[in-house]
Amino acid sequence: MAAAGNSFRKVIGIDIHNNSKLVETELRRRGISNFELSKSDGSSIPIEDSTVDVVYSFVVLQHVEKFDIFKRYLEETHRVLKPGGIAILYFGRKHFFSAGRNSKLLYWLDRVLEELVLSRGFKEFPAKVNRTNLVVSLRCATRTSKDVGFDVLAKCVSHKNVPDGVSLYGGQHGFILQKQ
């Protein structure tokens, strides 16, 4: 939110936790004041229809427990975006070899294996706090996004940079969507 606060007129942060005061204090410490914090149950976005230019979600959707919640989040994202609005969403991916590595070959091997292993296009599983509860194949997420009414502008995978500057593959797929 701090980075977005430096680039956008207004930033809205939504989370399921009860730590809004802590987040508010940290943002203000960083000199950010153009924000609003809201709590949600995770299945709805408490914002009016067609009022948002950009929705960004990172390290969130991999923690939802059910594919139906993932789909609902896509529907809610579509609802709150203005026509032509952009969503940048990341979600858990099934990986076998590429996470924490910098090999394109291993990433593409993971993509092929993901399609073979995720027969329904996703897998739900119980996980401890801060572990992945849902993985969704890029193909399934793309199809679901189109069904909701999005155009898929780009697909990607998360990366993490380590101190020596090498970019390693992360554990999330991502895409850039546009509301039609």
Pick the CATH number of 51-179 from 3.40.50.150, 4.10.640.10, 3.40.50.10860, 3.40.50.300: 3.40.50.150
Distance set, CA 169 to CA 26, 64, 103, 115 (Å)? 29, 21, 8, 18
pLDDT in tens, 62-91: 988 899 999 999 999 999 999 999 999 999
Query: Tell me, what's the pLDDT at 65?
Result: 85
Domain boundaries along the sequence of the chain: 1-39, 51-179
- Would you call 92 helix, strand, or coil by DSSP? strand
DSSP code of residue 63: G
- pTM, 2 dp: 0.90
- For 91-127, the pLDDT digits (tens) are 999 999 999 999 999 999 999 999 999 999 999 988 7
CA distances from 18 to 23, 25, 41, 89 (A): 10, 14, 11, 23
Beta bridge partners of 124: 134
